[in-house]
Amino acid sequence: MATGFFRIAPRGPFPFHSGHVKIVILDAYTANPGDLDWDGLAALGQLQMHDRTPADLMAKRAADAEILLTNKTVLNANTIERLAKLRYIGVLATGYNVVDLAAAGARGVPVTNIPSYSTPAVAQMVFAHVLHLTQHVAAHAEKVRSGDWASCPDFCFWNQPLTELSGRTFGIIGLGQIGREVAQIARAFGMRVIAHNPRPPRTLPDGIELAGLGEVIAESDVLSLHCPLTGANHHLVNAKRLSQMKPSALLINTARGPLVDTLALAKALHDGEIAGAGLDVMETEPPPADHPLYTAPNCHITPHIGWATQAARRRLIGVAVHNVKAFLAGHPQNVVNADQLA
């Protein structure tokens, strides 16, 4: 998809008059549960916010919206076609699969996203999982709390293996901004970094070795996913590829849940094909109470929070405001359906 900066000629009843444009946020709570503000958007028009919007209230809440913002609330073709006043859709996230881009484009409605806002936060979450799996900090702390160290005849106590990262191989699939940030941190730990990218990157940071997908999967002690979800890479990590990983390897997924075949991963963990997994994303979110990975050994799941530091969410809101300002000025930025606009 084309992205970035371009100028458009306004369609329909334009221009917007400052302070009069109707701005609706369909699901404001996840980006801002109350520790930030939406003042920047409120200054641009008549702002209406909803914590969450169920499907049966979508048409009513969005009916008069000229500028419509969504995080995970789905805007399908039928909804977009029914919103007569709609002129702009802003996705409050990097991924934009919740919007039918072609339907928006056919209406001449640009769709924008928020790129790069969460890079430091997601990279930090990657290594939260890596260190959790290699140092077992929480498990050891609980053993101390339960008295195991107090009753130990030695000055120290551990009941799970401790793994040193230095000298190990860190594999990355997807060398976008987050993948590169993760690579820098892995190198700081003294790790060898190998990476696979579907297209050769224009520039390759020092210390990263490009390799084929099979090589990255087979050689990695830690395999971390950082690629967008596409039709071609659905279940990229499947039963066959899990069987090609080292039995001592760890899988980290902070990208998109459907990159990993859930049932195949559960089986691989039960069978000892890999040593552990750290996941911040799942195929279904939230996952059901009987999810097979809940009982898989050494599988640790966080509830899709890698992006959610206050600093990252503040950046997200700032870019969202900037995107709306740019649209109102006639030169939308971060547009993800530029090649589909009528």
Angle at 286 between CA 334 and CA 275, to 5 degrees: 95
Q: 298 and 269 in contact (C-beta within 8 Å)?
A: yes
Q: Is 256 one of the annotated active-site residues of the chain?
A: yes
Q: 61 and 90 in contact (C-beta within 8 Å)?
A: no
What is the CB neighbour count within 10 angstroms for residue 295? 11
Amino acid letter, 274: I
d(CA 299, CA 280): 11
Tokens of 317: 């809101």
Q: Is 219 one of the annotated active-site residues of the chain?
A: no
- Of 243, 242, 244, nearest to 253 by C-alpha is 242
**CB-based contacts of 13, cutoff 8 Å, min separation 6:** none
Q: 342 and 105 in contact (C-beta within 8 Å)?
A: yes
Of 256, 283, 313, 315, catalytic = 256
DSSP 8-state assignment for residue 323: H
DSSP 8-state assignment for residue 87: -
Q: How many CA atoms lie within 13 A of 104 on its CB side?
A: 27
Of 52, 142, 285, 331, catalytic = 285
Q: Would you put residue 80 in left (φ > 0), alpha (ψ -120 to 50) or beta? A: alpha
**CB-based contacts of 166, cutoff 8 Å, min separation 6:** 189, 190, 191
Of 107, 304, 313, 315, catalytic = 304
Catalytic residue positions?
Answer: 256, 285, 304
